[in-house]
Amino acid sequence: MRSATAEGIILKNSGLGEADCILWMLTPAFGIMRVLARSGRKSVKRFGGRLLLFNRLKFDYSRRREGRTAAIENAKLIESFPEIFTDAARFGRCALFAEVFLQAWGEGDPAPEAFEFFLEYLRRSEAHRESADRHVLDAFRLLEILGHRPMLDRCASCDGSLEKSDMFSVNEGGSVCLICAKNESDRTAGQGGSKPFKVSSAVRRTIEQFRNTDPKRLHRVRFTPKSRTEAEKLWISNIQALLGRTPKSSDYLDKIRKNLTG
């Protein structure tokens, strides 16, 4: 039996039988790591409430052989984020990012940048410093970390100018000129596929402007309600293309917004 130590953030906790649970962790060394916590749902002595969502842990684990689920021997709590659970929208945004990492990042693929990004995101959310506007920019940063940065400054199909065009193509992975947008719409007509949709040049400029900005300055970004909705649609369309479905947490956030505005 092989034993080792790792650090990770809990992305998901799922019960197994009456006492055990399975944890899905985002770790810098192994990317997504699935571990078994025996008596994790009942043993106060072994885990003492440390196996909660988003908790950052340092843990010892063992694995009988390669490819098998590792078992946690013990866990030390490094950091927790209780304030996140006091606000439904804040919790929903954190859960959305956790779900995307869980579905899009492979097990065993090192993820130091992803780990640091999500840890800082949780810290800002805990400290009430993650606004709805900042969240939009962080969402596009998440896309970049996943290797799916959309092209917004040139036509993603022909590499031409975007003059007078506000169209975006999920299929092409970026903004498209009017000619390419029409050609794609003609190709997909009647097929039920994704067609190019409008994303204003103002939204594109804002995302591009803050893309390489010092993260400490991102709190200055401001979207109008309309442009934020537009940017969120752009991001979720890219995530849908990446995952092949709409994240459940996105539907949860939509319900919260409707309740707040209703």
Going along the chain from its start, the domains and CATH numbers come out as 2-82 (2.40.50.140), 131-150+200-261 (no CATH)
More confident residue, 78 or 255: 78
Amino acid 33: pLDDT:
94
Task: Tell me: pLDDT of 211 over 90.
Answer: no
Task: Please determine, for residue 177, whether its predicted confidence score (pLDDT) is greater than 60.
Answer: yes
Write the pLDDT tens digit of every residue in 215-257.
Answer: 666 667 788 889 999 999 999 999 999 999 999 999 988 888 7
* Residues ≥6 apart with Cβ < 8 Å to 189: none
Answer whether residue 214 shows pLDDT above 70: no
Q: Report pLDDT for 21.
A: 87
The string of pLDDT tens digits covering residues 86-127 is 999 999 999 999 999 999 998 889 999 999 999 999 999 999
Report CA-CA distances (Å) from 70 to 24, 57, 96: 11, 15, 26
More confident residue, 209 or 82: 82
262 pLDDT above the threshold of 60: no
Least confident span in 111-120, 165-174, 181-190? 181-190
Over 60: is that where the pLDDT of 75 sits?
yes
Long-range contacts of 140-147 (CB under 8 A, 24+ apart): 140/207, 140/211, 140/235, 141/117, 142/97, 142/100, 142/117, 143/235, 143/238, 143/239, 143/242, 144/211, 145/113, 145/114, 145/117, 146/100, 146/104, 146/105, 146/242
Query: Is the model more confident about 23 or about 206?
Result: 23
Q: What is the pLDDT of residue 259?
A: 75
- For residue range 23-70, list pLDDT tens digits in order: 999 999 999 999 998 876 665 556 777 899 999 999 999 877 665 788
